[in-house]
Amino acid sequence: MPQHVHQIRISLRDSKPPIWRRVAVPSDITLGQLHEVIQIAMGWTDSHLHHFKLQDKSLINRDPEVIARLTKEGRYDEIFTASRGIRVFVASTTPFGDPTEMDGEDEDAVTLGEVSPKVRSKLIYEYDFGDGWEHIIEVRKIAPGSTKPDEARPRCLAGKMACPPEDCGGIYGYYRMLEIAADPEHEEHEDIVEWLGDDFDSEKFDIDEVNEMLAQWRAS
């Protein structure tokens, strides 16, 4: 029997107009694999750390004794996640192959279907903690998988707007750069245009290119 397929919308928080992709993936895809799909679909270069965050109210723990113990041990991240009921999923290695020292569950040990089992389930994917690119992942549809192999593999169904360039200062830094690039009178105009590249188009999105890259990723 074909596996189920999640259709998800990946949208970049605070982007206006929205920078988004709609992607179909097998429900049993691991979060580690989903990270790679997001990188390709959005247009990132996988050059920075990332993690997934899931709000799970059943995990909320405000027991004073637990909080006191975690405080004494200096485990402040765990205090935050325990008090708000947040699960964090991290990679075991950095983009450069080194072991990470990040706290959280192994993203390769859990599937999308396990953490987002229902339509409208949401998950946060944050990439590059310096720039802080937060992506909202929302399940739009869950359907039986197709018997056609190509339709049971990750593929991009739609999307709008180009991916911001890496290391541009987050979403607000990106929009400031676009404003300067559009203003020939600005003192930084030439530097920003050179930095972005003459062919950069903030509205361009090539779905065929994305799906070709996803096909290559599946074959690797």
Looking at residue 2, what is its pLDDT? 53
CA distance 202 to 185: 20
pTM: 0.88
**pLDDT tens digits, 105-125:** 999 999 999 999 999 999 999
Domain-by-domain residue ranges, the chain?
4-161+205-219, 164-202
Looking at residue 162, what is its pLDDT? 98
Looking at residue 1, what is its pLDDT? 43
Listed residue (17, 12, 5, 14) closest to 41, CA to CA: 12
Handedness of CA 179, 183, 189, 193 (dihedral sign): positive
Looking at residue 198, what is its pLDDT? 82
Give the residue ranges of the chain where pLDDT is below 70. 1-2, 56-63, 65-67, 70, 75-85, 147-152
Q: What is the CATH number of domain 4-161+205-219?
A: 3.10.290
CA diameter of the chain: 62
